[in-house]
A and B are shown apart, each in its own frame.
Chain A
Amino acid sequence: MASATTTTAATTMTKDVILKVEHLSMRFGGLMAINDFSFEAYRGEITALIGPNGAGKTTVFNCITGFYKPTMGMITMRQKSGKEYLLERLPDFEITKQAKVARTFQNIRLFSGLTVLENLLVAQHNNLMRASGYTILGLLGFPAYKQASKESIELAKHWLERASLIDRADDPAGDLPYGAQRRLEIARAMCTGPELLCLDEPAAGLNPRESLALNDLLQGVRKDTGASILLIEHDMSVVMEISDHVVVLEYGQKISDGNPEFVKNDPKVIAAYLGVEDDEVEDVIAEVEGEEGGLK
């Protein structure tokens, strides 16, 4: 038990931090949705944020991606180039454009009236706008714009293939089945060229096969683009399977932080998930330690 904590602490020292959340608090009227929450996500890793319903996970995401302005705290995004951005101070569209943080939602938010391909091209808006001289040069058919537009379609095609949606490129996004829409959302987020990808329950409502396809897509994203992933997930099989680092949140406070193995056996986490009374936590701790002793 003790050895597990020290190893996580030791690896933390050497790892490259991409996102640093410090003393984040968010208050809605009298409700303290997040209370003094701090954690770090490391570059190239998949970090999972888990916790029981209503723990404040989505609120954390909303603070990171500029939906909410946090009541207190600092959220620092450090890019590969070493540039740092304070996310709580950026206007929402700059978070994607400058800081290179992309996100998806718990409920799917595709542009259902646009085609699948257009959904991916919208995500490359800023590049295309610059290349088309804010539309004017593009209208006159300047070669730089044609080149940029060809490249953006190539990138879109690449992600359509990764998400196995290439056959449906010209269908309205709203016509896709649910699992495909989830993959398209991730592909769209990747088309913004993010360094950090925030996924809010990507596996929600997927059947086991779609869930597997999603795992592959996420592993591929990390391996090939070097993007780091921060995800909220309820499906423990997904969390334990793909994440390198798990942060557990309950009632807006962090109760555990470490590798999946460590978190899985943390008595506080077990108590939070199984709903044990406060005075019974001691018993659970004893039980878990007993089991571990028994295994050894």
Chain B
Amino acid sequence: MQYFVQQLVNGLTLGSIYGMIAIGYTMVYGIIGMINFAHGDIFMLGGFAALIVFLVLTSLFAGVPVVLALLVMMIVAMLTAALWNWTIEKVAYRPLRGSFRLAPLITAIGMSIALSNFIQVTQGPRNKPIPPLVSSVYDVFGISISLKQIIIIAVTAILLTIFWYIVNKTPLGRAQRATEQDRKMAALLGIDVDRTISVTFIMGAALAAVAGTMYLMYYGVVVFTDGFIPGVKAFTAAVLGGIGSLPGAVLGGLLIGLIESLWSAYFSIDYKDVATFSILAIVLIFKPSGILGRPEVEKV
């Protein structure tokens, strides 16, 4: 039982990270109907930005408080990733809007390769480690919960609340939801659609960068290929939860995290990705629109 709960905690932590990345996929898909394959690399880039900030901080001010360091890392990573994603949208996706559907998709794959290669060239191809930032571990009824896990789950919960509030309660979120449903009509009501789409990319990137910072803190290492596997997993999470649905993305992320950690714990760690993607396949066969996705009903 203890072992099971332990795995649940591990799974939730991992799932939080996937969920934060998945939101970027699902929002961009919702608003312009394209899969931004470069999103996983934006996550990786966020991790690298955090790493650089950490190295600069520790070399300039020895003994900087960990909380402050983490906060600065997160904010700089968010800004950097947001700037990158905003630029990518502007130069690579916007000119292709209104072109055939595959064009932005292929461009996105291109952008993904370009980003990971850019990081490989500028930062080197090896693993980049950082010393453990927080190492305290608490023992709760025989289950060991590390402070890292608590931070990740708390940060995720706070950010998702803010995010939920923005999307559901603010004029910006209303404009995003309106643009998602009918872009042309939203423009006719005076909404600057291009700007709304840019803001969506910025928001998605900021969350991915936080996920990247958390990932760096959790595993203590980041490498230029890190955008791929977590990116694909988060994309899977978005599809599993129902692409286009925000709660779906979070739910999907948590589920993927849980499946992964439980499978590794009870069966084989080598086959954890197989398990994840098999469950995706099964869900898509029986519920093609995902868990919380709205099925597309065509009125006749």
Within 8 Å CB of B187, what residues of A?
A: 92-93, 96
Q: Is the CB of A95 within 8 A of B188?
A: yes
B188 touches A113 (CB 8 A): no
Residue of B162, B171, B184, B192 with highest tally of chain A CB at under 10 A: B171
Closest to B191 in A: A125
With contact pairs A93-B188, A96-B190, A125-B191 given, residues A135 and B172 touching in the complex (Cβ less than 8 Å): yes
A138 proximity list for chain B (CB < 8 A): 170-171
Whether A111 lies near B188 (C-beta < 8 A) is no
Asked whether A109 is an interface residue with its Cβ less than 8 Å from the other chain, the reply is yes
A96 to B67, CA, bound (A): 47
B side interface size, CB within 8 A: 22
A112 lies within 8 A of chain B by Cβ:
yes
Say whether A118 contacts B189, CB under 8 Å.
Answer: no
The answer to whether A113 touches B177, judged by C-beta atoms less than 8 angstroms apart, is yes
Is A178 an interface residue when CB atoms closer than 8 A count as contact?
A: no
CA distance A111 to B179 in the complex (A): 9
How far, in whole Å, are A112 and B180 apart by their CA atoms in the complex?
A: 11
Q: Which of A17-25, A126-134, A209-217, A280-288 contacts B (4 or more CB under 8 A)?
A: A126-134
A192 interface neighbour in B165, B184, B190, Cβ under 8 Å? B190
Asked whether A65 is an interface residue with its Cβ less than 8 Å from the other chain, the reply is yes
CB atoms of B171 and A128 under 8 A apart? yes
**Are A134 and B172 in contact (CB-based, < 8 A)?**
yes
The CA of A122 and the CA of B165, in the complex, are separated in Å by: 16
Contact of A232 with B by CB under 8 A: no
- Which B residues touch A139, using CB under 8 A? 162, 165-166, 170
The docked-state distance in angstroms from the alpha carbon of A103 to that of B192 is 16
Interface string of A81-114 (1 = CB under 8 A from B): 0000000000011011100001101000101111
Query: Would A118 and B188 be within 8 Å (CB), given that A93-B193, A113-B181 are in contact?
Result: no
From B174, B184, B192, A114 is in contact (CB under 8 Å) with: B174
B178 at the interface (CB under 8 A from A): yes
Q: In the complex, which residues of chain B have a beta carbon less than 8 angstroms from the beta carbon of A112?
A: 181
A246 at the interface (CB under 8 A from B): no
Residues from 157 to 188 in B contacting A, C-beta threshold 8 Å: 162, 165-166, 170-172, 174-175, 177-178, 181-182, 184-188
Q: Are A92 and B178 in contact (CB under 8 A)?
A: no
Out of A66, A109, A126, A135, which one reaches B185, CB within 8 Å?
A109
Known: A93-B190, A126-B190, A135-B166. A111 touches B171 (CB 8 A): no
Q: Which residues of B contact A93 (CB under 8 A)?
A: 187-188, 190-193
* Smallest beta-carbon distance B164→chain A, Å: 12
Kindly identify, within residues 132 to 154 of chain A, every residue whose CB is under 8 Å from any CB belonging to chain B.
132, 134-135, 138-139
Closest to A104 in B: B188
Which chain A residues border B178 with CB–CB below 8 Å?
111, 114, 122
Closest to B168 in A: A118
Q: Which chain B residue has the least Cβ–Cβ distance from A130?
A: B171
* Minimum C-beta distance from A183 to chain B (A): 17
Alpha-carbon gap, A109 to B187, bound state (A): 12
Nearest CB of chain A from residue B79's CB, rounded to whole Å:
14
**Quick check: A103 and B188 within 8 Å, CB to CB?**
yes
- Which chain A positions have C-beta within 8 A of B165? 139
- Bound Cα distance from A174 to B213, whole angstroms: 41
Query: With contacts A67-B184, A111-B177, A111-B178 known, is A122 near B170, CB below 8 A?
Result: no
**Is B181 within 8 A of A111, CB to CB?**
yes
Q: Is the CB of B189 within 8 A of A96?
A: yes
Asked whether any CB of chain B lies closer than 8 Å to the CB of A123, the reply is yes
Residues of chain B lying within 8 A (CB to CB) of residue A129: 171-172, 175
Min CB–CB distance A52 → chain B (angstroms): 27
**Nearest-Cβ distance from residue A148 to partner chain B, whole angstroms:** 9
Contact: B171 with A132, CB < 8 Å? yes
Whether B174 lies near A92 (C-beta < 8 A) is: no
Chain B residues positioned under 8 Å from A134 (CB to CB): 172
Taking a contact as CB atoms under 8 Å apart, the answer to whether B174 and A122 are in contact is: yes
Contact between chains at B190 and A135 (CB < 8 Å): no
Given contacts A122-B174, A135-B170, contact A97 B182 (CB under 8 A): no
Residues A21-74 near B (CB distance < 8 A): 65-67
**B166 — nearest CB in chain A belongs to which residue?**
A135
Tell me the smallest distance from the CB of B248 to a CB of chain A, in Å.
14
Given known contacts A97-B190, A126-B190, A192-B190, A111 and B185 CB-to-CB distance under 8 angstroms: yes
A121 within 8 A of B: yes
Task: Provide the residues of chain B in CB contact with A65, threshold 8 Å.
Answer: 188
Judged by a CB distance under 8 angstroms, whether A182 is at the interface is no
Tell yes or no: A188 within 8 A of B by CB: yes
With A95-B188, A111-B182, A114-B177 already in contact, 11 other A-B pairs whose C-beta atoms are closer than 8 Å: A109-B185, A111-B185, A121-B171, A125-B171, A129-B171, A129-B175, A135-B166, A135-B170, A139-B162, A139-B170, A188-B189
Residue ranges of B at the interface with A (Cβ–Cβ < 8 Å): 162, 165-166, 170-172, 174-175, 177-178, 181-182, 184-193
Shortest beta-carbon contacts, A-B, top 9: A128-B171, A96-B190, A97-B190, A93-B187, A135-B172, A92-B187, A122-B178, A109-B185, A111-B181
What are 22 pairs between A and B in contact, CB < 8 Å? A67-B184, A93-B190, A93-B191, A95-B188, A97-B190, A105-B185, A109-B182, A113-B177, A114-B177, A114-B181, A122-B189, A122-B191, A125-B191, A126-B191, A129-B172, A132-B170, A132-B171, A134-B172, A135-B172, A138-B171, A139-B166, A192-B190
